[in-house]
Amino acid sequence: MSKLYTFLKYFFITFWTVFVVAPFLWAVSTSFKDFQSVNSKVTYIPWLDFEPTLEGWRVLIKSPAKGGVDIVEPYFNSIFVTCTASLISIVLGTLAAYALSRFTFKAGFVRNNDITFFFISQRIMPPIVLSIPFFIFLSTIGLLDSLLGLVVVYIVLLMPIAVWIMVDFFNRVPKELDETALIDGCNPYQAFYKVVLPNSIPGLIVAGMFCIIFGWIDFFFAFILTFTEVQLLPVKVVALNSSITPWWSLSASALVSVAPLIIVAFIVERYLSKGNLSGALK
């Protein structure tokens, strides 16, 4: 029985690993191919099956004038927009979440839970519903097709995630911790940043990770709210496609697009596995 269990366990782990890793390997190998190697017979191993070339990668940094697509600028745009919006969302979201977790709000029939739900309900709507109001809003304040405009929109999209995760996290940080800090002589602000916040780092990291992921992968709003001045990575990658699908450069751009997320995942995983997620009280 236990042998069968072990076998099944390893079988499924292996299966899943192949399922996850194979597309990456396929993309890596494809990114080094040229038109010839992609469109002739099926090939896998460089140098044996096909002659590797860096053409797929070179296109990404060559300027359009020289027949390239230049994803360097959109890449940095994406990093800037994602990081700025995530940071602001985390800061504002954490403060909002702390208030929602610690104070009781009443306005008519509205209570704390309703406010939290109001935040997250922004994400329940299909993005298409938001696109027209956002478009009109940004064009009114003159931020259409600008990095700042995108940051504003992304804060609206990311802050609910931060609030939602952090409310839940703060609710699990016992209020006795804040009270103890007050008794020990902190004022409420010191209690928050000296005691509660350091205890909430795992929550901040999880919230930050979600914000970065959702900010980084967004295509829809980046596509609708920008035209020529500013472009984000997902839009640029899609724009790579043409009548002849350039599998090599698409693969290369896919790899560089997921690279930051993989790095983030590794950092977060290391931090979380330290066991810091366990609560302050036991």
Partner 1 sequence: MEEQMAKIDLSNISHTYNPLDPKPTYALNPFSMTWENGKRYAILGPSGCGKTTMLNIVSGLVRPSKGEILFDETPVTDLKTEDRNIAQVFQFPVIYNTMTVYDNLAFPLRCREFTKEKIEERVKAVSDTLNLSSFLNSPARKLTADQKQLISLGRGLVREDVAAVLMDEPLTVIDPDLKFRLRRNLKEINEQYKTTLVYVTHDQNEAMTFAENIIVMDQGEIVQVGLPKDLFEKPKTTFVGYFIGSPAMNIFQSTVSSDHEVKINDTTIKTNSNLGNLKDKNVKLGIRSEFIELAEREKSNTVKIKLTRVEDFGNFKLLTGKMGDLVIKSKVEREKPIPDGELNLYFPPEKCCVYSDEKLV
- Cα separation, 135 vs 138, in Å, equals 5
Q: Is the dihedral of CA 173, 114, 125, 96 positive or negative?
A: negative
Tell me which residue of 219, 218, 217, 210 sits closest to 264, measured CA to CA.
210
CB atoms within 10 A of CB 169: 22
Residue 84: closest CA among 244, 279, 257, 232: 232
Residue 228 or 278 having the CB closest to partner 1: 278
Name beta bridge partners: 110: 107
Question: Using an 8 Å Cβ cutoff, are 264 and 215 in contact?
Answer: no
Q: Work out how close the CB of 178 gets to partner 1 at its nearest, in angstroms, rounded to a whole number.
A: 10
Q: What phi and psi values does residue 18 have, to the nearest 5 degrees? A: -60, -45
Closer residue to partner 1, CB minimum distance, 108 or 185:
185
Tell me the C-alpha distance between 222 and 230, whole Å: 9
Measured over the CA atoms of residue 222, residue 227, residue 229 and residue 231, the dihedral's sign is positive
Q: What is the 3-state secondary structure (H, E, C) of 96-118?
A: HHHHHHHCCCCECCECHHHHHHH
Which residues face 107 on adjacent strands? 110
**Residue whose CB is less far from partner 1, 72 or 177:** 177
In this complex, which beta carbon is closest to partner 1, that of residue 72 or of residue 280? Answer: 280
Q: How far apart are the first and last CA of the chain?
A: 37
Q: How far is the CB of 20 from partner 1 (least distance, A)?
A: 34
Nearer to partner 1 by C-beta: 149 or 203?
203
Q: Which is nearer to partner 1, 38 or 177 (CB)?
A: 177
Q: In whole angstroms, how close is the CB of 164 to partner 1 at the nearest point?
A: 23
Three-class SS state of 46: strand
Give the residue with the Cβ less far from partner 1, 126 or 275: 275
Contacts with partner 1 by CB under 8 A lie at: 174, 176-177, 179-180, 182-187, 190, 195, 198-199, 201, 278, 280-282
